[in-house]
Structure 1
Amino acid sequence: MLEIGIFCVIVLAAAYWATMFVMGRRDDVIHGKFVHVDDEGDFTQAAMPVPPPPFPKRPVKVAQAPGPPPANDLAAKPVNSEALQSLLAAIQQDLKSVA
C-alpha cells in the first residue's frame, strides 16, 4: 500500500509537470516559481462583457386607432331580447329532455 501511495504521488507530479510544460509555463517547471511579467504596461486587461438581463422585457402593445366597423353582418347586428328569450327556451328544453 505504501508503494502504491508513493507511485501515485510521483504520477501526480509528472502530470503537473507535463501540464505546465504544454501550457507554456516552462519557467515554472524548471525553476519551481511563478513567472512575473516585467512589462505590465504593454498589456491591457479586457473589459468584462455585460451579461444579458435574466428575463426579456415584455412587449408593449400599441393602442390601435378605431378602424372601420367589422365587415361581418352577424357581429354588427344588435341582439334583441326576443332572440335571447327563444335561445333560453331552447336550452331549457334540451336540459329537460336530457334529464
Structure 2
Amino acid sequence: MKVIANLPYITVTRNIEENSICHKEEQHKITLSTSEISTSFETFLLKDVLDISYRIISSEIGFLYLHTTRGMYSFQMRSNPEQFIEEFKKIK
C-alpha cells in the first residue's frame, strides 16, 4: 500500500460547560493510497468509492464528499482538495 496523497480535515464538537457552548476543533487526515482511502474513523476500499466532490460553504470552510457504495460521507476542511481529487481520479 503506497500513500499517494494526504488531506487535512477537521471535526467540530460542541459541548455545554458552565452554561455556555464550547466548540472543540480537532485536526484529522484523509489518506489516499493505491488500494484505499482512510480517515481517522473509517477505511474505504477504492472499489467502493464511486466519486469525490467538493463544495465551498464560506471563504474559510468547504466540505469534501465521498460517494461510496455504503452512502455519502462528508468531511469539513479548510484547505482546497483539488489535488487530492485529481490524484483519486488518476488511479480510479
TM-score band w.r.t. shorter chain: under 0.3
Q: Name whichever structure is richer in strand by fraction.
A: 2
Q: Name whichever structure is richer in helix by fraction.
A: 1
Q: TM-score, normalised by structure 1?
A: 0.16
